[in-house]
Amino acid sequence: MRVVIAGAHGRVARRLGRLLSERGDSVIGIIRTAEQETDLHADGVEPVVLDLERTTVDDLASVVVVADAVVFAAGAPPESAHHHKDAVDRAAAVLLADAAEQAAIRPYLMMSSMGVETVADGRIPEGVDDEYLEYLRAKLASEEGVWARPAVDVTMLRPGRLTDDRGTGLVTLGRRAPEGTVSRDDVAAVMMRLLDEPRPGTVLELVSGSTPIDQAFDALPRPASIS
């Protein structure tokens, strides 16, 4: 499999890149600066320096055209400015979908966040500070923008709050999951499974749990069809 990962220097994305590379897949990682190239080379990932906030759909399409699937794992930190969240979380996700459409690449796996539905229709959930509220709004906008591109087959993964704990391989995965945390190791492992067996048109929530990843994945409803 040939996979292009946007936001490839992120902490989940690097884990995913290593997992894919270690099993023999070809991975291209889109990164923002040349300083990040060394890390990706060490992971077995081919780096491509391309600033998603400034590139064009044509330039991005020229990168993804070789892929069997694309992954959007980029994201601005919750504490970043509103315009940066919008540029990275929303606009870049939509740009990747447009580039995939132009390159005729349909499978699109997107890492979003649990909680985005709590800010739909302008709602303000209790106990959420302004920074995290803007983060959730940006993630929701990115989902809406990508869903509006019918020429890509989107699988949406919404993990809970991410941790750097060692992965256990035990999760709760489904359309709804209780609020909780999840290891970045386990998120990457689930994303690799979703690349192997995508669930287009599906939103999945993910937190730590008690079910082995393979069993949790096999329990998911099968899609009617996969493009």
pLDDT at residue 50 tops 90: yes
Q: Give the chain's domains with CATH numbers.
A: 2-218 (3.40.50.720)
Q: For 144-166, write each residue's pLDDT tens digit.
A: 999 999 999 999 999 999 999 99
* Model pLDDT for residues 191-210, shown as the tens digit of each residue: 999 999 999 999 999 999 99
Give DSSP secondary structure letters for 62-111.
HHHTT-SEEEE-----TTS-HHHHIIIIIIHHHHHHHHHHHTT--EEEEE
**For position 86, what pLDDT does the model report?**
76
Read off the pLDDT band of 79 (50, 70, 90): low
| Residue % of the chain over a pLDDT of 90 | 79
Lowest mean pLDDT among 12-21, 45-54, 93-102, 122-131: 122-131
pLDDT category at 90 given cuts 50, 70, 90 is: confident
**How far apart (Å, rounded) are the C-alpha atoms in residues 178 and 200?**
23
Q: What is the rounded CA–CA span in Å between residue 25 and residue 6?
A: 16
Over residues 42-68, the mean pLDDT reads 97
In contact, 61 and 35? CB cutoff 8 Å: no
Structure-block tokens of residue 16? 């995913």
Q: Which of 23-32, 95-104, 122-131, 190-199 has the lowest mean pLDDT?
A: 122-131
8 A C-beta contact, residue 207 and residue 180:
yes
pLDDT score at 77 = 64
Mean pLDDT, rounded, for 89-93 = 86
pLDDT, position 1:
96
* pLDDT value for 227: 43
- Reported as a pLDDT band with limits 50, 70 and 90, residue 134 is confident
Number of H helices, E strands in the chain: 8, 11
Angle, vertex CA 206, rays to CA 139 and CA 178, nearest 5: 95
Measured in whole angstroms, the distance separating CA 26 from the mean position of its chain's CA atoms is: 18
pLDDT tens-digit map of 178-195: 999 999 999 999 999 999
